[in-house]
Amino acid sequence: MNPEILFFFEVLLGGLLAGVMYSLVALGFVLIYKASSVFNFAQGAMVFFAVLSFVGFMELGLPFFLALLVTVGLMVLVGMATERFVLRPLVNQHEDTLLMATIGLAFVLEGLAQLVWGVEVRRLDLGIPDVPIMWIADATGIFVSALDLVAGLVAAVMVAVLAIVFSRTKVGLGLRAVADGHGAAMSIGIPLSQVWVFVWATAGIVALVAGMLWGARAGVQFALVGLALKALPVLIIGGFTSVPGVIVAGLIVGASEKLAEVYIGPYFGGGIEGWAPYMLAVLFLMFRPEGLFGERIIRRV
């Protein structure tokens, strides 16, 4: 095949796989938004907090699975603490107030993680090689690593599970009821606190998975927070309420920023991927504010 076309596909694939990572972060966000109509700005911080803690536990000598288990437990605790100390006192408050509170939460989590575990960059070895799989490279000329494939697969499984939980189970029904109105849900006997703890714990676990995949690729470091911030444009493009939406949007963002970087970047000295997703999101806001799959925002008088 023509090497230029091959190169294009390689960049595209690399972008799509990076996009999967964005989608994973965004997924935790959608989960919380759907279940409590809270914009959880702390989702990126949770990714950092979770994976740094995981690496930290491993450094303390815990074996892989035990460390994983302990971190999952920790994220459940974070969820409970968030419910008790942030959400419960703010029930029925304006959504902007809740958003500000989650910005506060983000800083608490980031600060705590660094206080406890330090600020050095750590390596995370999941035992999945991040080098191109040779037989794919030989057959097609495209370089894909096993880590990329695992990331894609994990994202797909998580999306499927969450989609089923949301649409097919009683818990999912409760979540959707809570999203429609806190007071109304409480009045029909839905235990608001339990629902929230459940959702935040789940989002924490999603964050852990995203953080592990990401950390294995880029190292466990504070820069993860900045990467996770790109989940925000993904959310806008996908629509805040749509699980498939954020997956597609994540792929779009990942692919477009890498293509822009590789093909347009050199003319400007690079760094385009730092803002391209946000600009794409602005375009969406101007012309299609509800995103690709989101619910239309209707104004009532």
Tell me which residues touch another protein (CB under 8 A).
39, 41, 85-86, 89-90, 93, 95-101, 103-112, 114-115, 118-119, 226, 229, 232-233, 235-236, 268-272, 274-275, 278-279, 281-282, 285-286, 289, 299, 301
Least distance to another protein, CB of residue 99, Å: 6
Nearest residue (CB) to another protein, 170 versus 299:
299
User: What long-range pairs does 263-272 form, CB within 8 A, spacing at least 24?
Assistant: none
Our CB check for another protein shows the closer of 177 and 281 to be 281
Phi–psi pair at 24, nearest 5 degrees = -60, -40
Report in angstroms how near the CB of residue 271 gets to another protein at its nearest. 6
- Closer CB to another protein, residue 114 or residue 193? 114
Q: Least distance from C-beta 255 to another protein, angstroms?
A: 19
- Give the closest residue to 43 by CA, choosing from 166, 276, 163, 199: 199
* 123-127 own/partner pairs: CB under 8 Å, 24+ apart: 123/219, 123/220, 124/51, 124/54, 124/55, 124/212, 124/215, 124/216, 124/219, 124/220, 125/216, 126/212, 126/213, 126/216
Report, in Å, the least distance between residue 175 CB and another protein: 20
> At closest approach, how far in Å is the CB of 32 from another protein?
12
Work out the angle at residue 238's Cα, subtended by the Cα atoms of residues 235 and 242, and round it to the nearest 5 degrees: 95
For Cα atoms 245, 28, 95, give the angle at the middle one, nearest 5 degrees. 90
Q: Is the CB of 73 or the CB of 271 nearer to another protein?
A: 271
- Residue 260 CA to residue 248 CA, distance in Å, equals 18
Distance CA 192, CA 174 (A): 9
Indicate the residue among 148 and 261 with the shorter CB distance to another protein.
261
CB of 116 to another protein, least distance (A): 9
Task: Report the residue number, 100 or 128, with the smaller CB distance to another protein.
Answer: 100
